[in-house]
Amino acid sequence: MLLATSEIRRAKLRFSLLTGAVGLLVFLILFQQVLLGSLLQSFTGAIENQSAPVLVYGAEARKNVEGSIVTPDAIPAVQAVEGVATVVPLGEGTFTMEAGGTQVDTAVFGFTPGGPGEPTKVVAGRLPQAPGEAVAPREDTTKGFDIGQTVTSSAGGVPVTIVGLTEQSRFSVAPTLFTPFATYEQLRRAANPDARAVLPTLLAVDPAPGVDPAVLADRITAQVPGVEALDRARAVSEAPGVAAVQQSFSLILLLAFIVVTLIVGFFFLILTVQKASSLTLLRAVGAPAGYLVKALLQQIGVVVGGGLVVGVAFLFGAKAGAQAGLPLQVEPATVIATCATVIVFALLASSVAVVRVLRIDPFSVVTRQSLGGTG
Amino acid sequence: MSIGLRELRRKPLRFGAAGAALVLLTVLLLLLGGLLDGLYLGSTGALRAQQADLITYSADAKKSLIRSRIDEAERRQVEAVPGVEQVDGLGVALLGANVPGQSDVASAAVIGYQGGVRGVPDPPAPGRAYADRRLEAAGVEVGQTLLLGPQREPLEVVGWVDDTSYLLQGGLWVEPGTWRSILASARPDATLADGTFQALAVTTAPGADPAQVAAAIDGATGGATTTVTRDDAIAALPGLREQSSTFTSIIAVTLLVAGLVVALFFALLTLERTGLYGVFKAIGASTGQIFSGVVAQAVVLGALSFLFGAGAAWLLSLPIPAAVPLQLEPNRVVVTGVALVAMAVAGSVFSLRRVVKIDPASAIG
């Protein structure tokens, strides 16, 4: 430890810079993962945190809520499927709402109070009971969606009063209201006075006791023409865009891990090459190779450990600062897994430097002129 | 410089590690750039193809075509504005299309238009459509009848058009009546009366200032409309700006990584050759001569890695399914190549300090 620490003490700036760089990269990796989780939650939270275990889409929707419409004849047909307890309509649409004095793109879900499709994560206030009431995401209270406030549709001026707040229940990264279906219908008609009818976007289904939602979804798809039923988990994971976002972020993460590996690997390799003469001398005066490798690994441990501390500290700083915008959810498991991966990658990266140390030939001290040898 | 290049020729494997990293980074850069271009071009084709300078939406639509509706009375107000030469109605219906012989539903955008679209002939007869070539990948052929939406509305494809998709859904260009009836059938809540369109494509008169005409249009309708330039309408498409900034940041970070790889590689190389460079300096070589050799190596390394990487990216793009919006544009390839070589040179410059500091006296111990 003496060799490792005394070198770090003498080259504080160099090691601090590397620790800082690793710390920033660790922060980047952690932040991206946390952002991914939060972003996906904001994309599909409304689907994940509603009470219907099975959702029925129009077959042409390609599992896209916004592209779905269910024809009136589908409701009795789904109700007739064995294992279905309750079927109610669920509407979804994006409307321009006047909130807090500005126009805001707002997703609105029209559900049946007391039936499947209700929001399940109401954290303040209450669920809407009457037309004209809605719950809104807690994340959007500063945008004019707080309890007691009234937002109005830009088209037709339909007022909606916020009576409760949800969490993790946004849709398409927009403020999302859950309101009785009648209000949703009113908003639709106000947006387009020519509308002939307002059909459900989806059907929310409660299975009978003991019926598996996934099995029931497959049964509905097979027996009812023109629809595709999905259990809640599939509705979330197979929503368009979710896979694309996940793949994009995976690519960025991979890139960030490669950068950490390259930086740590190259840094310690350069350091080892720079010290080759001194290390050869140490070997020649009897220092075992294991001792030098141990010192190298200790330095890597200090740099990577320090980097992890810096990265995690930055993450919590960012979490505190991000409360007003997209709320960040830090999962301890993600932090631990990321730290472990960085350590493994750093060790892998430093293996080149370790090999270089192991290959040092103590005899070269008598042949290398720079070490006083005879050449 | 010649020594640097000769070394590259004789010992190419010495540069293998950095070269391999740069090839991989080139593949990544081109695939990312290709995705960005594919997403952008696939989302914006229908708007880019408009000959009009301005697009007029209803004010409550927040520049969303789907949410906008402009009736005949408002259209007449727009037509009467000085500086307006031509007004064409525009509307879109996003829905699934059943293609004969295919089990998967194709994503289609039925676009009702009156004319003024580059590369698209005048509107076809009712019940017929010009299809965007994007739909070819879904099995669509000219002469086929597609069945659209939950009510399976028939639509016959009578010809192909290029680069006219909307939000990654293949464009089906139809006359306004056909679009209105398909919209009403697929989305009864989005039904529009005859004469009503979602937006207006406004062509300004020669010499008129589009910004002034846009303001005059919104003034003439009493604030019932929002008129923007075609470019602003494109930028307002949902998610486009976020998509572009995300991908551009990833590309920038990747380029930085490329520079970092080259910088670290040449730093290591220079370090290993301190003695050799000392000898060079001792026999009269200048810092400039030694350094130009390093830069020449970086240029060749960057350029060759890029060529191999571009080839690999092209090969990789072949088996990628048509559903993935990957589009390798010549512009993107050229820009990526130049940027990669520039980053390689920038990376190699970090060795300059070390080369300058080499003492010729070190050659004699």
The verdict on a CB contact (< 8 Å) between B67 and A196 is no
pLDDT tens sequence across A149-208: 999 999 999 999 999 999 989 998 889 999 999 999 999 999 998 888 899 999 999 999
> pTM, whole model, 2 decimals?
0.80
Q: What is the DSSP letter of B99?
A: P
Higher pLDDT among residues A311 and A9, named by residue? A311
Closest CA to B263 of B275, B271, B251, B252: B271
Chain A interface, mutation test: which of B26, B28, B29, B187, most A Cβ atoms within 10 Å? B187
Measure CB to CB from residue A195 to each of B189, B253, B257 and give the nearest one: B189
CA distance A49 to chain B (A): 24
Higher pLDDT among residues A152 and A317, named by residue? A152
- Identify the closest residue of chain A to B268 by CA–CA distance: A270
Closest CA to A128 of A173, A171, A91, A165: A165
Rounded to whole angstroms, the Cα distance separating B290 from B228 reads 57
Rounded to whole angstroms, the Cα distance separating B172 from B130 reads 6
Which chain A positions have a beta carbon within 8 Å of B190's beta carbon?
192, 195
CB-based contacts of A63, cutoff 8 Å, min separation 6: A57, A228, A230, A235, A238, A239, A240
Residue A370 has pLDDT above 60, yes or no: no
Q: What is the mean pLDDT of chain A?
A: 87
Average pLDDT of the residues in A312-338? 79
Q: Does A355 touch chain B (CB under 8 A)?
A: no
- Identify the closest residue of chain A to B270 by CA–CA distance: A270
Chain B 226-245, residues with CB within 8 Å of chain A CB atoms: none
The verdict on a CB contact (< 8 Å) between A270 and B150 is no
pLDDT at B1: 58
Residue A325 has pLDDT above 60, yes or no: no
Q: Does A251 touch chain B (CB under 8 A)?
A: yes
Q: Does A369 touch chain B (CB under 8 A)?
A: yes
pLDDT at B214: 96
Asked if residues A47 and A55 have their Cβ atoms less than 8 Å apart, the reply is yes
pLDDT at A348: 87
| B179: number of Cβ within 10 Å | 26
pLDDT at A322: 67
Residue A351 has pLDDT above 90, yes or no: no
| A175: number of Cβ within 10 Å | 22
Which chain B positions have a beta carbon within 8 Å of A67's beta carbon?
94-96
pLDDT at A372: 55
pLDDT at A368: 61
- Identify the closest residue of chain A to B190 by CA–CA distance: A195
Strands A84-99 and A102-111: antiparallel
Average pLDDT of the residues in A220-233? 95
Question: Mean pLDDT in runs of 10 for chain B (365 residues)?
Answer: 75 76 85 88 94 95 93 96 96 94 92 95 97 94 94 95 92 97 92 95 95 96 96 88 78 80 78 80 86 89 94 88 82 94 87 80 66
Q: Does B58 touch chain A (CB under 8 A)?
A: yes
Q: Provide, rounded to the nearest whole percent, the portion of chain A with pLDDT above 90.
A: 47
Amino acid B358 reads: I
pLDDT at B179: 97
Which chain A positions have a beta carbon within 8 Å of B149's beta carbon?
60
Q: Does B264 touch chain A (CB under 8 A)?
A: yes
3-state helix, strand, coil in chain B (%, to 5): 55, 20, 25
For B113, left (φ over 0), alpha (ψ -120 to 50), or beta? beta
